Amino acid sequence: MKARIKGLSFFTAMTLTLALVVLGPGNAGAVKFLSFGTGSPAGTYYFLGAGFAAIVNKHVPGVRVTAESTAASTENARYLVRGKMDMGLACMGTLADLKKEGMDVDQVRLVAVGHTSDTHWIVRKNSPIRSCYDFKGKVIGVGPAGSATLNIYSKKHLQAGWGITFDDISPKYIAFHEITRGIRDNTIDAGIIAAGYPIAAIMELARDIPIRLLETEPDVLKKLQAEFPNVTPFVIPAGAYKGIDKDVHTYTLPQMWLCRTDLPDDLVYQIIKCVYDRSEDRNAIHPMAKKYTIENAFRGSNSVPVGYHPGAIRYYEEKGIWSKMAQYQ
């Protein structure tokens, strides 16, 4: 192989190099490389991001999208604000939090609102924990640093809904696969995975050991909705995981598909059109991919401190739904 490389002429080597360089949008025929922030390989973000990337890479000429495994929501949003990532998924509420911290979220735009991240508080079936109210003094897997699981579901929701702070528990800042391992090995008492069901890591855990999913009490749901209007009641149906033989009443948050503000309008238009118009390919990615419809694209967006990218707006106008946004928010 080395001999072949050495045998290349200077002109040929330069031609190959330039073919791999990320050139500006004005250079016709250039390959545009984009990064797409997802999450843990055990979570829904990763499946969706990788699936969207595969569809775009197959059908949009001159574009190569790479799905990047990250700490998920908050990290993705921070990378987008700093210009270190091109697209990514993030939980509703993430940009509002970053804006409060003083970050310039105007560097980011919405592409769509799609799937939901469903709250799974997991314990072993024989655990004495019956509610999040019982977390005091326990070792709890609260999600990894840089995730909405940690920053929103664990920190904010536990306190607002159940009156539990991190001073009351021994928090473990671990990712989804580490949470399921901790419950399997009995090194943590409970853990949260906030992602669209069915979650492969929980399915695997439920096959290994008996588990339970904690419910969100009606009074807690009212408290959460009073402080966080985008909290929506949700039911994980019986049979979703082995041993879960009755419906589990919990809640969910819509998830955002974001991009950098400075991405070319036509590029964003081509990407969203490719993913949305190929519904058969999209829906085969994961059950949560079916929620990426134009009717869901505005759900809860009136609480987001940024607008939609012009390329996405062009697509929604083409579909005749942009003018009807208000009725779908």
The average pLDDT across 73-96 equals 96
Kindly report the CATH number assigned to the domain that includes residue 261.
Answer: 3.40.190.10
Same domain, 144 and 40: no
> Based on the structure, what is the number of domains in the chain?
2
Residue 96 φ/ψ, nearest 5 degrees? -60, -40
Secondary element (H or E) of residue 16? helix 10-19
Which residue, of 202, 223, 252, is where some domain finishes? Answer: 252
Same domain, 84 and 52: yes
The average pLDDT across 238-243 equals 97
| pTM score | 0.79
DSSP state of 105: G
Residue 262: predicted pLDDT: 98
The reply to whether 6 falls in a domain is no
Name 65's bridge partners: 34
Same domain, 240 and 127: yes
Question: How far is 133 from 242, CA to CA, in rounded Å?
Answer: 25
Same domain, 122 and 108: no
Residue 146: predicted pLDDT: 84
The reply to whether 268 falls in a domain is yes
The reply to whether 274 falls in a domain is yes
CB count in 10 Å sphere of residue 245: 8
Same domain, 125 and 231: yes
Same domain, 164 and 47: no
pLDDT in tens, 143-198: 999 888 999 999 999 999 999 999 999 999 999 999 999 999 999 999 999 988 88
Same domain, 135 and 239: yes
Tokens representing 233 are: 């009641």
The reply to whether 23 falls in a domain is no
Q: How many CA atoms, within 13 angstroms, populate the side-chain half-sphere of residue 39?
A: 33
Mean per-residue pLDDT of the chain: 90
The answer to whether 286 and 313 have CB atoms below 8 angstroms apart is no
Cα–Cα–Cα angle for 225, 173, 80, rounded to 5 degrees: 70
Tokens representing 48 are: 């969706």
pLDDT in tens, 294-306: 999 999 898 899 9
Tokens representing 21 are: 């360089």
Give me the domain span that covers residue 155: 117-252
Amino acid letter, residue 144:
P
Question: How far is 192 from 289, CA to CA, in rounded Å?
Answer: 22
The reply to whether 242 falls in a domain is yes
pLDDT in tens, 133-153: 999 999 999 999 988 899 999
The reply to whether 150 falls in a domain is yes
Same domain, 211 and 290: no
Same domain, 236 and 146: yes
